[in-house]
């Protein structure tokens, strides 16, 4: 089995929005259970979440909500659509 790590590159906006979503899902364990019933998958989820938390200074900023809203808007615009 290959033991080289897998690297995933995200834009700062992608990382910020994903971090917020992961936090929301993980803090309400019923949600995580419902979305990801296979607990083996949780290992990767926790690793991604922890890595994002360590690398995103903006998640502790007083203007967190404004930053998150801006990141979401930019990503939705890049995806070519409006929020559903």
**pLDDT at residue 49 in the model:** 94
Any long-range contacts for 18-26 (C-beta under 8 Å, 24+ apart)? 18/48, 18/52, 19/49, 19/52, 19/53, 19/56, 19/59, 20/59, 20/68, 22/48, 22/49, 22/52, 23/49
Instruction: Using the predicted structure, report yes or no on whether residue 2 has a pLDDT greater than 90.
Output: no
Task: Give percent of the chain with pLDDT exceeding 70.
Answer: 95
**pLDDT at residue 33 in the model:** 85
Q: What is the pLDDT of residues 6-17, one digit of tens each?
A: 999 999 999 999
Q: pTM for the whole thing?
A: 0.85
């Amino acid at each position: 089995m290959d033991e080289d790590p897998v690297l995933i590159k995200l834009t700062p906006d992608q990382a910020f929005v994903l971090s917020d979503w992961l936090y929301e899902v993980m803090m309400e364990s019923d949600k995580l259970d419902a979305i990801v019933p296979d607990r083996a998958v949780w290992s990767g989820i926790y690793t991604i979440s922890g890595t994002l938390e360590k690398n995103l200074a903006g998640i502790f900023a007083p203007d967190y909500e404004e930053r998150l809203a801006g990141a979401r808007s930019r990503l939705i615009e890049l995806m070519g659509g409006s929020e559903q």
